[in-house]
Structure 1
Amino acid sequence: MAREEIIVIGGGIGGLTAGALLAQAGKSVTILEASREWGGCAGKFQRHKFLYASGATLGMGLEKGGIHERVFRHLGIKADAFRLDDVMKIKRGERTLTFYADRQKHVQAMQQAFPDYGDAIGAFYKEVYQKAAKIRLLMKKLPILPIKTGREAFELLTSLKPTHVTLTPDFFKTVQSLLKKHRLLECKDFIHFLDGQLIDSMQTTTKDCAMLMGVLALDIYHEGAYYVQGGLYQFAYDLADAAKRNGAKAILGRRVTEIRKVRDHYEVVDHRGNIRTADHVICNAPIQSLPKILNEDLYSQLSPGLKKRSKQDTWGTMTLYISLDETHLPEDFPLFQQLMSPEGNSHDEGNHLFLSASDKNDRKRAPEGFRTLTVSTHINLASWKSKSQYDLNKTLFTEKMLQTIRHYYPTIDDAIIDIYPGAPKAWEKYPHRPGGVVGGFAQTRTHSLFFSLSHRTSLKNFWLCGDSVFPGGGTIGVSVSGYHCFHSITGRRLIQ
C-alpha cells in the first residue's frame, strides 16, 4: 500500500513540529515554506555581521515534561539553551521589578514591592499556582479542544481527575475576577505588572483574559524560562533537520497560491506553478490566508466560525532590530525586559515594550564585544491601512520606542550601531503574515478553550496548526497544535 502523502504549508515551529513527527512515523511528508527562512515569526535575518531574531527569544517548554522537551526527546533533538533564574526585569517609571523563576522568591519580591497588599498578593499567587498545577496535570496528555469527535471526548474525559471539577466555575471568569476576589483591584501598579505578562503571551490583559489560560500564563515562566543560543529559530532548524533525516522534503521559497480538491485528494499549487498532490494538508499559515489560498469551493465548505475569524485582524507588532556596541551598555543590561512608557498607562500602541538582547557570549548573533537587540510592541492594525498613516506611524513609533528606551538607558544612543524598523509590511513580506497579523487571537473567554479554533476543520483531512488554533500563540501553543495534527492523523502519542 502506498504511503499517505502529507503536505505541510508553512515552516513555522507548529508546521515543522507536525511535519517532523509525521515523517518519523513513516508518512511521506513535504513541507513548503514561502520565505527563505524556517521559523515564521520565530525566524531570523542577517545584516552584515549581525543576526537578528525576528521575534522575542525567550524559550519555554524545555523543562522535563514541557512540550518542546517531549517533542525534541521524541525526535532525538538536543536544544542548546540555559535556564534563567531571573527571567526578566520590568521597568515602569521609577519602579523596577524582577520576575524570578523561583515561585516563593517571586511572591516575596512582589510582597516587598507592594507592602500594603502583601497578604492579598500572597493569597492571589497561592490560588494562581494551585489552579495552574491542576491545569498542567490535565494537559499532561495534551487533550484536544474544542471537542469535535468521540475519540477527542474520550481522551479529554480520561485526562480528568476529581480535582478538575473544582475548575469548572472558572471557565466563565477572567483574571480580573481573581484580582477582585483578593481585593487587589486598587493595586494598580501590580495589575500593570500582571498585564505586561499577559499581553505578551495571551494578547490581552487581566480585564479580559480567560482565567484558566491566564493563570497558566502567569505560572509558565516558573516552570522554566530559557535563553536559546542564537534564538528560537534554532528550534525551527532543528525540527527541519529532524524531518529531513526521516525522509521529509523540506523546501524553502515555495509560496502556496491555491489549494483545491480533485476527487479524493488535494492539489497544492505553488507560485511557480508546481502542483503537488496530497491525502492530507496541514495549514500552518495564518487562518487569514485561507480566503486567498483555498479555492472558492473549498472555502465555502468551511464552518461559519472559521470563515468569520479568517476575515478578522488580530494584533500587529512594530519591531526594532538594533545592533549594539557592548562597551557602552550597563554591566547589568538584562537579556529580557519589559519597559513601560513613563507617560503611558495602557499596554498597547507603543506604551509597552518587550526587549530581547543577545547574550554577551552568543557568537551566533553578534561578534565578540557586540550584541543584538529585538524590541517589539503591540499595535492596532486598523490605524495602519492607508499609505500616509503607515509612513507616519512607522516614523512616530520608531521614535516613541527609542524615547522609552532612552528614558531608562540615557546613554543607549552611544551603544547603537544600526537600527532596522520592522513595521507590519515587513511581517507581511517576509514571514507572510496577511496584513501583518502576529500572535493569534486574544485569549478572552470567547476565543479560548472550548471556544477556540480546532486543528480539525469541516474539510476531511484538511488540518490547521499555528497561533490561531488551540491552545494559541507562542512556541508552546503552536507546537501543541502541530502535535494534535500528528496525533489525529496517526493515532500515536509522544513518548512520556
Structure 2
Amino acid sequence: MSSELNARVEPRKDTSTITGILLLAAAFLPWVAYWVLTRPGQPAGIAVALGISCLLLAQQLWTHSYRLLEAASFVFFAGAALAVFPIGNTAPADNAGPFGFGALLLIAAVSVLVRRPFTADMARLAYPRQYWHNPAFITLHSIISSVWAGVFLVCAVFTAFSVISVTGPLAVGLMVAAFIFTLVFQSKGPAYLVKQKYRDFEWHVPLTPRSSRQQNEYDVAVVGAGIGGLTTAALLAKRGYKVLVLEQQSQPGGYCRSLERGDFAFSAGVTGITGLWDSGPVDRLLRHIGISPDGRFAAHSHRYICKGSVIDTGAGMQSTVSALGDVFPEERDGIGSLFQDAAEAFFQLHEYSRQFDSPLPDHLVVRLMGDRAAAHLPRTYPGLYDWLDKTLQQKLDEHLRSDSLKAIIAAASGQNGTTPEATTGLRALMGCLGPQIAGTYYPAGGPGALAEAMARAVESFGGNVMLNYRADRILTDHRQVRGVRSGADIFQAHAVVSNVNPRTCVLQLVDANEIGGLYIDFIKSLPMSRSAFIVYAGVDADLSSYPSLIENIDGDFTILINSNADDRMAPRGRSSLTLIAPMGYRDFPPRDERDYDDRKRQFAALLLRKAEDVLPGIGDRVVVLDAATPRTLESYTSIPDGALYGFDQSVGSRRPHFRSPIKGLYFAGASTFPGAGVESAMMSAMICANDIAGWPRDGE
C-alpha cells in the first residue's frame, strides 16, 4: 500500500472551467436575441429567443443535464410568446430591457434563496458529481449568482427609466464584467473565502533553533505530555529547538498510558492505534523520531456481538469483508463495494497529505498548496470528497440494506463518540472504517510503553520532559506568548503548545483580557464529547482463545483483553481486561459526595455482570479490580467532563483552529483538527510542529 501513497498533488491544466463559462454564455443567447431583435411593435425577437431556448432545453433533455437558467428562460419566452402572439399584449416587446433583466433578477434571486445558484449548474462540469452539493461549492456560487443578480437589478432599473439602452455600452460592460468575475472567482474564490474565515489566526512567530540561551528560557514550551504534546516536542527537538514539556502527572501519555495493579497491567483507555501500515503516518512518525515500530505493535483481532450473533472478523480489510460476507451472504456484493469505496477514499486522504505528514484543514490547503492546487483537490480526489460531504450512515445506506450489518460496521463509530448519523465522513474514514481497512494495533507493553518511549525520544534530542509539574499559567503580554509559570518557577518561551483541552487552557491558564471575550464565548459554546465508565479487572482465567478486542453492540460496551494483545500484561494463565462503557459526565455524582464510592462499586459490578454474557464465569474469578468514572478521567487529564474525545465530533460541530488568537499559542491534541485518537493527535502535533519550524517543501 505504501507505493500508492507516494504521489504528489500537482495543479493540472483543466479546460472544464472555460467550458462552464461557455455554457453560461450559451444560456444567455436567447436573451441576447430577445434584446437585439425585439423592438416596440416588432416582436419577432421573442420567437427567435423561444426557438433558441427550445434547442438548449432539448440538449439538456438529451444529455439528462438539467440547468435552471435555460429551463426558466424557456418558461419566460413561452409565456412572452403566448402574451404577444395569440393575446396581442405587446408589453414584452415594448419593454424588452426591464422585462428581460427583471426576469433574470427573479431567476437569480430565487436560485440563491433555494440554495441552487444558477451559475453552479454550469460549473458542475468542472467537478465530480460528489462535490456538487458541497457547502463550500454552494456558497461560492451563491456569491457569484448574487453578483449576477446585482447586475440584473441595475440594468432592470436603468432600462426601465431609459437611463441606458439594453444594448448600450453600460449594459454590455456590466454583463462582460460579470462574466470576468465568474471566471476569476471560480478559481480564486475558494481560497479567498477560506482566508477571510481564518484571518484572525494568520500570525507568525519567527523562531530559529536554539535561539533561547538562558537556563529557564526555551524556544517552545509544551503544556501536557499527552501524545499530541510528546509528538510536537519530539519533532521540534529533533529539528534543534530547545523544548520543554511540563506534565502534571507522574506518567506521560494522558489517556495513552498504562495502569499497574498487582501483577496485572491495563490500558487506561486507549483500545488501539491506527496508521501503522507500511509507511502509514504513525509508522513514518515513529521512525522519524527514532522509534522502530517493528515488533512494537500487535494487530488486534476483532469480535462483534449483535442481536445475539457472534462475528469474528480477524484483523484487516480482507478478513473483515470475508467474515461479514459469510454471515450476510445476501449483502456480500454491498459489503465489497462499501469497503472498496471506503478504501479508495481512505488512501486518497493519505495520498494528498503525505507531503505534509497529515491531512490538512482547508485553510492550510490554501496556504501550503496554493489557490490552484486547492481548487483542483475535489477533481483530483472525487472519492474522498464524496465521503467528506456525507455521514457514515449515508454511506452505509448507499451500499447495504441490513440494519444489523450496518450496526456492526458502524460499531467503531462509537470510538468517535458519535452515532453513525452524526459521524462525519472524515471521522468515518479515520476512526471507523479506516481501522478496519488498515488494521488496529496494540502497543507492546501497553499504551504507556509507547508514551514513555516518546518521552525518551524527546530527551534524546535534547528536550526536557518534567513530570509532576503542573502549568499554573501561560504568560502573555500584549496578546503574545511570553512563557509558562509552574508554581514558583517561570519558564520563558517564544511559543507555547497547549496539549491540554482548549477549554481548560482558555478558561484557566490564559488571561481573559488577553485572549478576548469573543473567543472565550466561542470555546464555551463547544460541547464536550461523551465520557465513559472504565473497569480494570485482573482475572484468574486464561482467555487467550478470545479475540483481543470485542465490541458488544447489544450491551453497548467494549472489552479489551490486554493480555491477548501482549501476554506480559498478566501472569501466565491469567488475563487483564479493560471494560469500557459510555457514560455521561452528569450520570455520576461528584467525587466528594458520600455515595460516590458506593456508586463506583455498583457500576463496576454491573459492567462485570454484563461482561459475563460474553466471557462466562469471569465475575467469580476477579482477583484485581479498579475503576475510573468520568470524574476520575476529568481529574487525571484536566479535560472538562472527562470527555474521551475532546470536543464533540458530530456533524456540524466545530473544532478550534490550531492557532489561538494569542500570537505564539498553539493547540495540539484530540480537540483540534483532525480529531480524537492517537493517530489524529499525532497528526495535529505534526501540524503544530511544521507550522513552528516551517512546512516541508517538495523533495524534503
TM-score interval, smaller chain: 0.7 to 0.9
Correspondences of 1:384-395 after superposition (within 5 Å): 384=588, 387=593, 394-395=600-601
Q: Which residue of 2 aligns with 1:334?
A: 547
Q: Which residue of 2 aligns with 1:219?
A: 434
What is the CA distance between 1:309 and its match in structure 2?
Answer: 4.7
Q: Which residue of 2 aligns with 1:308?
A: 524
Aligned partners of 1:194 and 1:206 also within 8 Å = no
Tell me: CA distance 1:361–1:224, structure 2 relative to 1, closer, same or farther (3 Å): closer
Aligned partners of 1:39 and 1:233 also within 8 Å = yes
Deviations 1:336-372 (A, max 9, x none): 211234xx5xxxxxx3224242238633x33333332
Q: Please give the alpha-carbon distance, in whole angstroms, between the structure 2 residues aligned to 1:220 and 1:408.
A: 23
Higher mean C-alpha deviation, range 456-465 or range 479-488: 456-465
Q: Please give the alpha-carbon distance, in whole angstroms, between the structure 2 residues aligned to 1:117 and 1:143.
A: 32
Q: Which residue of 1 aligns with 2:584?
A: 380
Does residue 370 (structure 1) correspond to residue 558 (structure 2)? The answer is no
Question: Could you say what secondary structure the match of 1:59 adopts?
Answer: coil
Question: Could you say what secondary structure the match of 2:564 adopts?
Answer: coil
Does residue 171 (structure 1) correspond to residue 388 (structure 2)? The answer is yes
Deviations 1:397-441 (A, max 9, x none): 323311211112221134321110111222123233333222223
Does residue 434 (structure 1) correspond to residue 640 (structure 2)? The answer is yes
Question: Could you say what secondary structure the match of 1:98 adopts?
Answer: strand
What is the CA distance between 1:101 and its match in structure 2?
Answer: 3.0
What is the CA distance between 1:211 and its match in structure 2?
Answer: 2.1
Q: Which amino acid in structure 2 is aligned with residue 171 of structure 1? A: L
Matching residue within 342, 345, 356 for 1:128: 342
Higher mean C-alpha deviation, range 385-394 or range 139-148: 385-394
Aligned partners of 1:313 and 1:381 also within 8 Å = no
What is the CA distance between 1:269 and its match in structure 2?
Answer: 1.5
Q: Please give the alpha-carbon distance, in whole angstroms, between the structure 2 residues aligned to 1:170 and 1:385.
A: 40
Q: Which amino acid in structure 1 is aligned with residue 261 of structure 2? A: R
Correspondences of 1:277-296 after superposition (within 5 Å): 277-290=492-505, 291-296=507-512
Where structure 2 has 5 or more consecutive residues not aligned to the other structure, the ranges are 1-209, 213-217
Q: Which residue of 2 aligns with 1:348?
A: none
Q: Please give the alpha-carbon distance, in whole angstroms, between the structure 1 residues aligned to 2:498 and 2:551.
A: 33
Question: Could you say what secondary structure the match of 2:421 adopts?
Answer: coil
What is the CA distance between 1:154 and its match in structure 2?
Answer: 2.8
Aligned partners of 1:302 and 1:459 also within 8 Å = no
Q: Which residue of 2 aligns with 1:347?
A: none
Aligned partners of 1:60 and 1:226 also within 8 Å = yes
Aligned partners of 2:387 and 2:395 also within 8 Å = no
Q: Which amino acid in structure 1 is aligned with residue 662 of structure 2? A: L
What is the CA distance between 1:196 and its match in structure 2?
Answer: 1.4
Q: Which residue of 2 aligns with 1:319?
A: 534
What is the CA distance between 1:153 and its match in structure 2?
Answer: 5.4
What is the CA distance between 1:477 and its match in structure 2?
Answer: 0.4
Tell me: CA distance 1:361–1:384, structure 2 relative to 1, closer, same or farther (3 Å): closer
Q: Which residue of 1 aligns with 2:222?
A: 8
Q: Which residue of 1 aligns with 2:564?
A: 359
Aligned partners of 1:9 and 1:256 also within 8 Å = yes
Tell me: CA distance 1:56–1:124, structure 2 relative to 1, closer, same or farther (3 Å): same
Q: Please give the alpha-carbon distance, in whole angstroms, between the structure 1 residues aligned to 2:511 and 2:388.
A: 37
What is the CA distance between 1:249 and its match in structure 2?
Answer: 1.0
Does residue 397 (structure 1) correspond to residue 603 (structure 2)? The answer is yes
What is the CA distance between 1:163 and its match in structure 2?
Answer: 3.1
Q: Please give the alpha-carbon distance, in whole angstroms, between the structure 1 residues aligned to 2:399 and 2:516.
A: 48
Aligned partners of 1:323 and 1:416 also within 8 Å = yes
Q: Please give the alpha-carbon distance, in whole angstroms, between the structure 2 residues aligned to 1:478 and 1:19.
A: 13
What is the CA distance between 1:261 and its match in structure 2?
Answer: 0.8
Tell me: CA distance 1:493–1:242, structure 2 relative to 1, closer, same or farther (3 Å): farther
Q: Which residue of 2 aligns with 1:479?
A: 682
Q: Which amino acid in structure 2 is aligned with residue 240 of structure 1? A: A
Tell me: CA distance 1:68–1:127, structure 2 relative to 1, closer, same or farther (3 Å): closer
Which protein has the larger Cα radius of gyration, Structure 1 or Structure 2?
A: 2
Q: Which amino acid in structure 1 is aligned with residue 301 of structure 2? A: V
Aligned partners of 2:267 and 2:447 also within 8 Å = yes
Where structure 1 has 5 or more consecutive residues not aligned to the other structure, the ranges are 345-350
Q: Which amino acid in structure 1 is aligned with residue 689 of structure 2? A: F
Matching residue within 394, 399, 406 for 1:182: 399
Q: Which residue of 2 aligns with 1:248?
A: 463
TM-score relative to the length of structure 2: 0.63
Aligned partners of 2:550 and 2:559 also within 8 Å = yes
Q: Which residue of 2 aligns with 1:118?
A: 332
Tell me: CA distance 1:304–1:432, structure 2 relative to 1, closer, same or farther (3 Å): closer
What is the CA distance between 1:376 and its match in structure 2?
Answer: 1.0
Question: Could you say what secondary structure the match of 1:338 adopts?
Answer: strand
Aligned partners of 1:29 and 1:249 also within 8 Å = yes
Deviations 1:282-305 (A, max 9, x none): 000112312011122233267367
Q: Please give the alpha-carbon distance, in whole angstroms, between the structure 2 residues aligned to 1:482 and 1:420.
A: 32
Q: Please give the alpha-carbon distance, in whole angstroms, between the structure 1 residues aligned to 2:365 and 2:604.
A: 48
Does residue 267 (structure 1) correspond to residue 478 (structure 2)? The answer is no
Question: Could you say what secondary structure the match of 1:41 adopts?
Answer: coil
What is the CA distance between 1:27 and its match in structure 2?
Answer: 0.7
Q: Which residue of 1 aligns with 2:658?
A: 455
Tell me: CA distance 1:405–1:265, structure 2 relative to 1, closer, same or farther (3 Å): closer
What is the CA distance between 1:161 and its match in structure 2?
Answer: 7.6
Tell me: CA distance 1:231–1:72, structure 2 relative to 1, closer, same or farther (3 Å): same
Q: Which amino acid in structure 1 is aligned with residue 381 of structure 2? A: H
Deviations 1:95-132 (A, max 9, x none): 11123334233212212212333333333223222222
Matching residue within 363, 370, 378 for 1:147: 363
Q: Which residue of 1 aligns with 2:261?
A: 47
| Identity across matched positions, percent | 24
Matching residue within 279, 284, 299 for 1:65: 279
Q: Please give the alpha-carbon distance, in whole angstroms, between the structure 1 residues aligned to 2:457 and 2:319.
A: 39
Deviations 1:214-269 (A, max 9, x none): 13430333323323211122221111111111111100001112112136542311
Tell me: CA distance 1:275–1:481, structure 2 relative to 1, closer, same or farther (3 Å): same
Question: Could you say what secondary structure the match of 1:430 adopts?
Answer: helix
Aligned partners of 1:57 and 1:228 also within 8 Å = no
What is the CA distance between 1:306 and its match in structure 2?
Answer: 4.6
Query: Which structure shows the higher strand fraction?
Result: 1
Q: Please give the alpha-carbon distance, in whole angstroms, between the structure 2 residues aligned to 1:83 and 1:48.
A: 24
Q: Which residue of 2 aligns with 1:33?
A: 247
Q: Please give the alpha-carbon distance, in whole angstroms, between the structure 2 residues aligned to 1:237 and 1:404.
A: 33
Q: Which has the higher contact order (CA 8 A, sep 6+)?
A: 1
Higher mean C-alpha deviation, range 49-58 or range 274-283: 49-58
Query: Which structure shows the higher helix fraction?
Result: 2
Deviations 1:126-158 (A, max 9, x none): 322222222222232324314169534539739
